[in-house]
Chain A
Amino acid sequence: MTSTATVLEAPTHVPALPLVTVRDLRVAYDAHVVLDGVDLDVRAGETVALLGSSGSGKSTLMKSLTGFAPIARGTVRVAGHDLSDLPRGGLRALRSDVGQVFQQFHLIPRLSVLTNVLTGALHEAGAINVAGGFSRTHRVRAMQLLDRVGIAHKAKEPARSLSGGQQQRVAIARALMQQPRVILADEPVASLDPRLAGSVLRLLRQIATEDGIPVLVSLHVLPLALEHADRVVGLRHGRVLVDSPVAQADARALAALYEEQDDAHDHDL
């Protein structure tokens, strides 16, 4: 493990190890409460799908796990980092332990696929790395990861020349380059067609099962979640309404996540 963070969980109890622990989380932007009383556990090796309609708080929950959203109350622990009590420089250490995948891929279009993957290792690159060179070890690792996501043959091409599905695979390779302890994927397939969406989600789940890295993925397509996740967590108006293994998921409870409701717009949470 490259992480310098305090590892609080002993690696011996891997099966029960929650790498993401959220308790009674409240996130508010001024008077607008986005999340309230949210509890969440994500354990090693599992793929958890985060569901909910637009504005339910999915993205905000994702952001709050990496310090991109203000925590008003509650505790958030991710990969051994306590977000409410981060030491100086702790945010960067936390973020380097969490691989993130975005809906719009967020690659640097002009740069090569390989360079894009290498940027995942920036937190390991020293201050002397001004000229932009990466070590041989990093380059070898990046090529291995590109091979794993099936894009190795495009390593030298600019990222913008790739299709959406390929770009998302590169973004996943970049996240893996961090040697993350947790992967967060915020709507990773919302810009992709169904076939590509399936293949990207399969890849994420494969990473979770083979590497033991838990994947928290927010989705807005229910069938995709049921097919590709181990567990579904449903948010509505900033609260967790559903949290169950896919096999035991209650179809009515899931449908209720997307129901139109009279008081939907200004719940004063």
Chain B
Amino acid sequence: MTTTSDAPARRTAPPPLPPEERARLARAFSVPRTRFLVGLPLAAAVLLWSMGGAEFNFVKLGEGSVNMAEFLSRLFPPDFSKLGIIVELLVETLQMAIVGTVLGAVLSLLVAFAAASNIAPRWLYYPARWAMNVIRSVPDLVFALMFVSAVGLGPFAGILAMTLGSLGSIGKVFAEAMEAVDRGPIVAMQAVGASRRQVVQYGVLPQAAPLLVSYTLLLFEGNVRGATILGLVGAGGIGLELTTAMRMYDYGHLSAITICIIVLVTVIDQGSALIRRRIT
């Protein structure tokens, strides 16, 4: 009995606050919070500073709009005479994205197990997180160049770059999706005497599954778009055709390619939205 003397005070309800104290507390919520008043100008200052550094200029944009219109007018009419090549390359791009996404998602899942604090031991958790951070900070184009020099020009290099890039971008969100699951079913699985693998299989994965699928679809959409860029360094897909068209001032062909990419990306967006609606 260390504090017998003040015990009765703690057991009974606290005494009512004096009126002035109550008024002070009420007033604290009537004015905008200080952090808001300080935060807003601060955010505005950061934005202005960044605009200056990035040479953001509304006047220049207005003056240039004539040139922009001229450029856009050159894109018309689109020239679909080489539609066969476009479709063929788009299919290759799509195939690259599918393989890159599947490999990336599987690898990400494996690394995510190591990077989820509720599954992995500490000694595995930190290296896994660190590795993903390193991969994420390297631009995909650098990976693409690396793999082009390793396995030569072509889609294979692109796929490898995409896989590694995927690992960086969704490994972490996979891990966080697994960390965010309700602990209750995990306790229940431990309580029935399930092994660690079974706890993950029945307690963690089913709960995280909608998020994991959703992120994988987002990754796939991103990879389809990304695959067009990888072509720039000769890593397969429609990107090379796109750059060639630009360099040769073949604007009709360029706009045809762009329109086809838009159609493909839209179809994929709609498709994955449909899947996402059904699984959540």
Contacts and interface: CB of A to CB of B under 8 A. Distances in A.
Contacts of A94: 193
A122 B189 CA distance: 8
Contacts of A264: 7, 11
B77 to A, nearest CB: 50
Contacts of A119: 188-189, 192, 194, 202
Interface string A147-185: 000000000000000000000000100110010000000
Given A104-B184, A266-B3, A268-B2, A92 B11 contact: no
A117 to B, nearest CB: 11
A96 B193 CA distance: 5
Interface residues of B, number: 29
Given A122-B202, A265-B10, A108 B193 contact: no
Contacts of A268: 1-2
B14 interface: no
Interface stretch (B37-45, B62-70, B123-131, B205-213): B205-213
Contacts of A104: 184
A210 interface: no
Interface residues of A, number: 41
Contacts of A122: 189, 192-195, 198, 202
Given A125-B198, A262-B8, A108 B187 contact: no
A95 B191 contact: yes
A263 to B, nearest CB: 6
Contacts of A127: 195, 197
A266 B194 contact: no
Given A102-B187, A119-B189, A263 B1 contact: yes
A130 B207 CA distance: 17
A171 B10 CA distance: 39
Contacts of B4: 262-263
Nearest to A120: B192
Contacts of B10: 265
B244 interface: no
B239 interface: no
Contacts of A85: none
B188 A102 contact: yes
B184 A95 contact: no
B190 interface: yes
Given A95-B193, A123-B193, A263-B4, A100 B198 contact: no
Nearest to B209: A110
Contacts of B206: 108, 110-111
Nearest to B184: A106
Given A123-B193, A263-B4, A100 B188 contact: yes
22 contacts: A66-B191, A68-B191, A92-B193, A95-B191, A102-B188, A105-B184, A106-B184, A108-B202, A110-B206, A110-B209, A110-B210, A119-B202, A122-B189, A127-B195, A174-B188, A174-B192, A261-B11, A262-B8, A265-B10, A266-B1, A266-B2, A268-B2
Interface of A: 66, 68, 92-100, 102, 104-111, 119-120, 122-123, 125, 127, 130, 132, 171, 174-175, 178, 260-268
Given A95-B193, A111-B206, 14 more contacts: A96-B193, A106-B184, A110-B207, A119-B189, A122-B202, A123-B194, A127-B197, A132-B202, A262-B8, A263-B4, A263-B7, A266-B1, A266-B3, A267-B1
